[in-house]
Amino acid sequence: MSDVKGRTRGELAIEYIDSFSEAGIGSSDILRAMTTRAALLLGVEKERGGIRAGMAADLVATKANPLQGIDALKRIDFVMKDGQIWRKP
Q: Where are the domains of the chain?
A: 9-87
Q: What is the CATH number of domain 9-87?
A: 2.30.40
pLDDT for the residue 43: 96
**Residues 59 and 80 sit within 8 Å (Cβ to Cβ):** yes
Specify the pTM. Answer: 0.80
Question: Is a pLDDT exceeding 70 seen at residue 51?
Answer: yes
User: Is the pLDDT score of 2 beyond 90?
Assistant: no
Which pLDDT value is given to residue 41?
A: 96
Pairing of strands 84-87, 59-61: unpaired
What percentage of the chain reaches a pLDDT higher than 70?
A: 97
Percent helix / strand / coil, the chain, rounded to 5: 40, 10, 50
pLDDT value of residue 1: 43
pLDDT in tens, 23-49: 999 999 999 999 999 999 999 999 999
